[in-house]
Amino acid sequence: MTDETNGRDEFDGPASPDHEPSASVEQAARRGEGEERLDIFEGVRGQDGNPVLPVQLKQGDMFAFSCHKGISCWNKCCHGADVIVTPMDMLRLSRHFGIRPVEFLDRYCYQAQWEKAGLPVAKLRMTGDDGSGPCQFVDDEKGCTVYENRPVTCRYYPLGLAAIKLKGQEGKDNFNFLVKESHCKGHDESKLQSVSQFQKEQGTDQYDQVNAGWIDILMKASSWASIGGPQGREIAPKTQGMFYMVSTDIDAFRRFVFETRFLEIYDIEKETIEVLKTNDAVLLTLGFDWLKNVIFGEPTISMNESVLKEAIAARREEFGAG
């Protein structure tokens, strides 16, 4: 990525980083559409390429699965795995190693383009020249050496996570589906559990809460990709860079908030500003709220009244309104 994604670029006005157009065009284009679905986590994706079973599961639905050291496929799913590193993953794993997120990113991840949404994401780098080797955090005997802080993709497996939005519905609903890959023998085990029991055992709730804004953006951007975005445009490169920065380098976004005109432009309570200085999870929430406002025009963050009046006056002058 270029320097514009590292949080050091100047933020010099109330508009978005690259002056994205209003979301009204995109909203109008979607009025006639029906259901929109976006698969967020699709499993670690074995190399056999077997398709995911398209079975939607409710929280109370039961399924049989267990993974343990004695199983014949032990550690096999950790070879050549396709693991997106979510914002919460970045916080937990960097804390595990006693380093900051940008250091974790440099050491263990690579940048990929998530084609569904046309946005950059971080993925965990596998070993081997072609990336088909084991995960960097896997030990043949011990298994996952970062198990307490493992990525949420790994926590969900063998469940996938999808978000769905119905026509005329403002919000979205998340649901799970079962992933069955030929190498995985965990499905032959007798342990029976509900989806909600499995999620509680795997500790996915905290991850889902922190990642909620990130998932919202991916879903909306995916919808844009299907219709060409507002006015037929893709999300501009600079905005993509800002999305990647917030997702992967919270310290760069903190500098962006505190070392530019951000706090002059946006109406943030003083108590919240103090929290933002040290709380990475709260800062992430602010970052994705800001991006939803920038990209989609959502009222997730408010400008200071004086700045808003200045912007309106400038726009009037621009169009000769007086």
Q: Domain-by-domain residue ranges, the chain?
A: 3-20+236-318, 36-215
Alpha helices (runs of H) in 151-279, residue ranges in sequence order:
152-156, 195-202, 205-227, 237-248, 250-259, 262-265, 270-276
Which residues are bridge partners to 89 per DSSP? none
Please identify which residue in the block is written with the tokens 């997730």: 300
- Predicted local confidence at residue 173, as pLDDT: 72
Residues 167-208 have pLDDT tens digits of 555 666 778 888 888 889 999 999 999 999 999 999 999 999
Considering the chain, what is the average pLDDT of its residues?
82
Q: Are 43 and 293 in contact (CB under 8 A)?
A: no
* Separation CA 97–CA 83 (nearest Å): 18
Q: Specify whether the CB–CB gap between 26 and 227 falls below 8 A.
A: yes
Neighbours of 235 (CB within 10 A): 25
d(CA 300, CA 291): 9
Closest to 60 (Cα-Cα) out of 176, 138, 155: 176
CA 150, CA 145: separation in Å to the nearest integer?
Answer: 9
Summarised one tens digit per residue, pLDDT across range 32-64 is 344 566 666 665 555 455 555 557 888 999 999
Please give the single-letter amino acid code of residue 7: G
Cα→Cα distances 140→54, 80, 137, 143, 270, Å: 32, 15, 10, 6, 50
Confidence of residue 287 (pLDDT cuts 50, 70, 90): very high
**What predicted TM-score, i.e. pTM, was given to this entire model?**
0.81
